[in-house]
Amino acid sequence: MSYKTIYEQAQDSFVEKKSEFIGHIAPVKTPEEAAAFIELIRSQNRKARHNVYAYILRDKNTSRYSDDGEPQGTGGVPVLDVLKKAGLTDVCVVVTRYFGGVLLGANGLVRAYSQGCKIAVNAARIMHMHECSRFEFSCDYNMYGKVSYVLPDFEVIKEKEDFADVVNISVLVKSELCKAFIDKITDISNGQISLSEEPNLEADFS
């Protein structure tokens, strides 16, 4: 199992025919967290004409959107489409519009709200999350060279390498690679390395 999300809140803005569009993005995991972020942006932009939003959650494969007073289909749907095309989940985007007095028309609004979402996504740090296991083990210094040579083959995240009387190592391995990892470490050590596994974790393998 893997998915893409973002690390923290981000935003960016642009001006289109005197209207300012501000794209805000945040990581969220529940409808309540999404609603709280939307309300936060609204409270920070009380003089704005519109706060269009969309969010996608892994929980129950939920997605919601709102045009917030813009003509139907010109705000929320374009924002949601950008998130879907980016492959993101557990995210909420609010695109705030400060009206500049010039009407954009339906096509212009679709482009503007899409752009508002795109710049927010581009401003965010993307995380590629994977289900994984943590493996902890120790080896002597003679074996360490063999172990360190094969670790890159399994795209591991090194959490710890403690050089004491022996080398104490902690790594994260994607779930789909765990069996092969165990087999390889067992093989190169002739079964001398004892692996301790903590499964069902998640980590950013970006």
- Arithmetic mean of pLDDT, 188-195: 95
Alpha helix (H) ranges present in the chain?
A: 31-44, 76-86, 105-123, 141-150, 178-188
- Arithmetic mean of pLDDT, 57-80: 96
125, pLDDT greater than 90: yes
User: Residue 49, class by beta-carbon neighbours within 10 Å (0-12 exposed, 13-18 middle, 19+ buried)?
Assistant: middle
Nearest partner of 182 among 129, 137, 130, judged by Cα: 137
Nearest partner of 20 among 31, 8, 10, 11, judged by Cα: 11
Average pLDDT, the chain: 96
The predicted pLDDT at position 21 comes to 98
Nearest partner of 12 among 99, 78, 95, judged by Cα: 95
114, pLDDT greater than 80: yes
Q: Name every residue whose Cβ is closer than 8 Å to that of residue 199 and which is 6 or more positions away in sequence.
A: 133, 175, 178
- When computed from its CA atoms, the radius of gyration of the chain, rounded to whole angstroms, is 23
Domains and CATH numbers, the chain: 2-124 (3.30.230.30), 132-204 (3.30.70.240)
- Span 140-162, pLDDT tens digits: 999 999 999 999 999 999 999 99
- Arithmetic mean of pLDDT, 87-103: 96
The predicted pLDDT at position 86 comes to 97
> Which pLDDT band, with edges at 50, 70 and 90, does 139 fall under?
very high
φ and ψ of 71, to 5 deg? -55, 140
User: Residue 90, class by beta-carbon neighbours within 10 Å (0-12 exposed, 13-18 middle, 19+ buried)?
Assistant: buried
> Which pLDDT band, with edges at 50, 70 and 90, does 1 fall under?
confident
**CA dihedral (58, 62, 68, 73) positive or negative:** positive
Tell me the pTM: 0.85
- What is the percentage of the chain residues whose pLDDT exceeds 70? 100
Tokens of residue 57, six digits: 């959650």
User: b/e for 161-174, b at 16 or more Cβ within 10 A?
Assistant: eeeeeebebbbbbb
Q: What is the Cα–Cα distance from 96 to 107, expressed in whole angstroms?
A: 18
